[in-house]
Structure 1
Amino acid sequence: MTVLVLDNPELMAKAAVLETGLGGLISKAGDDSLRKPHRMRFHYGFNQHRLSEEDQQILRQHAAYLKAHPELTVEIHGHTDAFGNEEYNAFLARLRASSAAKLLQAEGIREGRITVTGWGSRKPLARPEDHAANRRLELEYRSEQMAKAQ
């Protein structure tokens, strides 16, 4: 058996399409207007819930992608660091996710296509002491085809 290791993201995406049959979910090479933005994670300053202007622009690109792919939904997961009590962290995480959802809705994405989750500090990305890495928002795309595969 031969194992091919790909370090080119575009080739890996094409290989995934061939392997899974999800060709309709990945835009064609060269079609920048329909390509999913690469960045799926956004970070926050301490006790902040508003995204920077640059991050908002990237989120608007996600909105354009969602408009071009009406079969997709998006889950927005808000996270915090471990400072503060868990009740407040859950509130702040949900506030972060809700703020991003409102931006997507303002860009024309129906509320029913967006799911918001506030995890607080319960699902750290890095070690709990890496506070800045854990203060984040993550986007996760879903489709009916993906749901059937799980």
Structure 2
Amino acid sequence: MTVLVLDNPELLAKTTLLDSQPGLPVEPLDDGPRRPHRLRFHYGFDKHQLNEEDTDILRQHAAYLVAHPEVTVRIHGHTDSFGPAEYNTFLSRLRASAAAKLLKTEGVRESQIQVTGWGSSRPLARPEDHAANRRLELEYLSARMAKAQ
């Protein structure tokens, strides 16, 4: 018995649609770059630059965005709870802006990028788990998703 596992949400949706409506034409898969699965990146204390491995993954996201100009990405910057709230908001925006700058350098259009700095207001883990809360998160929106919002 062969089991097919689909990890591409768009392909899964098309497959479901085809199963419910036999006879519909099947669109071929594009040969462009696939969106990397990793959407979260972590930082050292008081840092706003990603390490080399994370930068390479962000470049893969850039290649995907260049190949799919209908897709928008929201970049959410976060910090831990050390320091004043104003500084944490600044640092979180600096993290998100640095990621946006790298995407633009790789050819992503500015209109595809939205930047938000949350400071320490949206912790991923308990506030005491400082390392987990120093992060950057990518959120993808397609044109269809944007119309629905």
* TM-score normalised over the length of structure 1: 0.81
Using a 3 Å threshold, how does the CA distance of structure 1 residues 40 and 9 change in structure 2: closer, same or farther? farther
1:1-150 → structure 2 map (5 Å cutoff): 10=7, 14-18=11-15, 28=29, 31=31, 33-150=32-149
Question: What residue identity is the alignment partner of 1:45?
Answer: G
Q: What percentage of aligned pairs have identical amino acids?
A: 66
Deviations 1:60-104 (A, max 9, x none): 000000011010111100000000111000000000000000000
Structure 1 residue runs without a partner (length 5+): 1-7, 22-26
The ranges of structure 1 where at least 4 consecutive aligned residues each deviate by more than 2 angstroms after the TM superposition are 8-21
Question: What residue identity is the alignment partner of 1:74?
Answer: V
Aligned residues: 137
**Aligned Cα root-mean-square deviation (Å):** 2.4
Q: Tell me, what secondary structure is at the counterpart of 1:103?
A: helix
Distance 2:113 2:17 in 1: 24
Q: Tell me, what secondary structure is at the counterpart of 2:48?
A: coil
Q: Tell me, what secondary structure is at the counterpart of 1:10?
A: coil
Q: Is the 8 A contact 2:6 2:12 kept in 1?
A: no
- Cα offset for 1:49? 0.3
Distance 1:102 1:83 in 2: 26
Structure of greater Rg = 2
Using a 3 Å threshold, how does the CA distance of structure 1 residues 19 and 120 change in structure 2: closer, same or farther? farther
Structure 2 residue runs without a partner (length 5+): 19-27
Distance 1:132 1:72 in 2: 30
* TM-score normalised over the length of structure 2: 0.82
